[in-house]
Chain A
Amino acid sequence: MKSEVLTALGEALVRGSLTDEELLFQTGAGPGLPILPDANVIKLGGQSLIDRGRAAVYPVIDEIVANLSRHRMIVGTGAGTRARHAYSVALELGMPTGVLSVLGTFVSMQNARMIHYLLARHGIPFIEPAQFAQLPLYLEERRAVVFFGMPPYTYWQQNPAVGRIPPHRTDTGAFLVSEVFGARSMIYVKDEDGLYTADPKKNRGAKFIPKITLAELASLDLDDVVVERAVLDLMAHAEHRRTIQVINGLTPGLLTRALEGEHVGTLISAD
């Protein structure tokens, strides 16, 4: 049996323009393959969680370990305060966004290594981007892997519209891992219950938002949000990852419940 994609569309792709919207539209036809539909992607906040040290990190590690028998987990790490320091130094010296991206990668790598050592006795590896081909094996054998959350864009990081801070950081990197593998969930573990109408660390009057769509979020036009704005932009076009959940990692048990599919923080959805 001849496939339309391999005949008509394949021919059009080889000969035609990849900027042609009609041709691009055809490339979206048909269901995409969820590569790892049973895997959960968990992102551990840098400033919000890991920079708090043992008091915040150990209970989360215990919870990850307790869930190894029930869930497959791809654990990414944020960067946090040392990235802020490196960005500050680099900004003052006139470094471009692409160099800041390299610096952020180093810090999120440190955090990934630390999380990895805490999980090492359970046989859980840390993988760099070049080792993602081994990820399915590790998930099958050990049920979890640790990776650094920064997408490996380095010098190819795009400028933000405003300022110099790389717009695609560890929230985005984790999101894209969840999207490309068609994973079961994307859980952001931070130090707030989820999304608020303003930064709750600075504004005691900020109101909690348990559930919101991208359209509603856009209409609120918040000055501060709990996940990178790029995640929201990318989710609008995502094929698999249409919902994310932000939970409070300082509250014991929430990660376990989020892994079970419960709504325990803020759910942000594309639809």
Chain B
Amino acid sequence: MSELPDERHHVRSLLMRESLLDRDLQARTERPVVRMLPNVHVVKVGGRSILEAGRNVTVPFVEALRAALVTKKLIIGTGGGARSRHVFSIGLDLGLPTGVLAELSAADALGNAHILGALLSPEGVVAIPPALFGHLLPLFIRAAPGVIFNGVPPYSIWEHPPAVGRIPPHRTDAGCFLLCETFGCKSLTLVKDVDGLHEEDPRVNPRAPLIREISAKELRRRSLKTLPFDRVLIDLLENARLLKSFQIVNGWKPDLLEAALEGEHVGTIVHAGD
């Protein structure tokens, strides 16, 4: 192909002169990916469901975390819970956009991260400031049995406007998923106050049957009214290269945490594929 005159100054590389928007070029960049933290587990601890559910729920679960930290390396993300939902409602009333709501919600999950960090201090497991967390993660996780971060991805005012309404679509489940995928961690466990995914919200219909295992594709097809995790996880799972499934477990049954980390099927497993 004859090149047209080019007055740009290039650095020689595989992608030199290319439009990164060209589909053929994009396909050529598909390569195997290294796993940066292959022996580390990511655990998302629900805000409203665990950390704010009262001492009777929180303390036994924290003890389960403490026990797991003896043998396993954990990256623990926290949810923002009731305060994030409250700040969303105030922000919405004030007419503030999705990006601002996302920026605000980081603080609530960070508060919960610090509560959990205070409880796990004897283990040397603390809440890491978000600005340091990503870059220093491999160092921290080598130095301590676990680290805690606010599960909120650092999208802030760069959060995507959602298809419906104004609530930020990438919340703490998504932040934990993306981190787990990028660092090639061993597993992602979402700890909630339900046994897993049900045919209907079990808080509304306690008899709703549990779905033990489901694919992203099936989940998309069924379009359930509510999910016990950020809906954007379906999209993220479909595009994941390393993280091919995650499990939702009930943190009100603290023994399930260790089982889930051992790879046992004790809640709902959502997997990529058909």
Contacts and interface: CB of A to CB of B under 8 A. Distances in A.
A24 B88 CA distance: 11
Interface in B54-100: 82, 85-86, 88-90, 92-100
A165 to B, nearest CB: 5
A158 B163 contact: no
A133 B123 CA distance: 36
Interface stretch (B19-27, B110-118, B207-215, B253-261): B19-27
B158 to A, nearest CB: 4
Interface string A195-207: 0000111101000
Contact of A151 (B7, B15, B155): B155
A66 interface: no
Nearest to B83: A14
Contacts of A23: 165
A13 B201 CA distance: 15
A87 B15 contact: yes
Given A32-B97, A35-B97, A156-B175, A85 B241 contact: no
Nearest to B225: A20
Nearest to A89: B13
A113 interface: no
Interface in A198-238: 199-202, 204, 223-229, 234, 237-238
B265 interface: no
A183 B225 CA distance: 35
Contacts of A129: 156, 158
B30 to A, nearest CB: 5
Given A18-B85, A165-B29, A199-B22, A98 B7 contact: no
Contact of A153 (B24, B155, B229): B155
Nearest to B153: A156
A65 interface: no
A142 interface: no
Listed residue (A6, A27, A182, A239) with the most chain B CB atoms within 10 angstroms of its CB: A27
A93 B225 CA distance: 42
Contact of B92 (A27, A88, A224): A27
B156 A152 contact: yes
Interface stretch (A44-52, A118-126, A255-263): A44-52
Listed residue (A130, A158, A179, A223) with the most chain B CB atoms within 10 angstroms of its CB: A158
Contacts of A226: 21
B157 A176 contact: yes
Listed residue (A18, A26, A30) with the most chain B CB atoms within 10 angstroms of its CB: A18
A85 B167 contact: no
Contacts of A93: 34
A114 interface: no
B178 A24 contact: no
Contacts of A10: 86, 89-90, 93
B209 to A, nearest CB: 18
A173 B156 CA distance: 11
A169 interface: yes
B92 to A, nearest CB: 5
Given A81-B8, A240-B97, A27 B167 contact: yes
Interface stretch (B38-46, B139-147, B181-189, B244-252): B181-189
Nearest to A236: B163
A55 B7 CA distance: 9
A252 B24 CA distance: 33
A95 B98 contact: no
Contact of B22 (A3, A223, A237): A223
A96 B88 contact: no
Interface in A147-168: 151-165
A14 B239 CA distance: 31
Given A48-B8, A96-B34, A130-B131, A162 B27 contact: yes
A92 B29 CA distance: 9
Contacts of A68: none
A99 interface: yes
Contacts of A14: 82, 85-86, 89
Nearest to B7: A52
B271 interface: no
B65 to A, nearest CB: 23
Nearest to B8: A51
A155 B179 contact: yes
16 contacts: A5-B93, A17-B227, A25-B165, A84-B14, A84-B15, A92-B14, A97-B182, A132-B157, A158-B236, A163-B25, A173-B158, A202-B3, A202-B4, A224-B19, A237-B162, A237-B163
Interface of A: 3, 5-6, 9-10, 13-14, 17-21, 23-28, 30-33, 35, 47-48, 51-53, 55-56, 81-82, 84-85, 87-89, 91-99, 102, 129-130, 132, 151-165, 169, 173, 176-177, 179-180, 182, 191, 199-202, 204, 223-229, 234, 237-240
Q: Which 7 A-B pairs have the closest CB atoms?
A: A98-B182, A10-B89, A180-B99, A33-B95, A27-B165, A84-B15, A24-B165
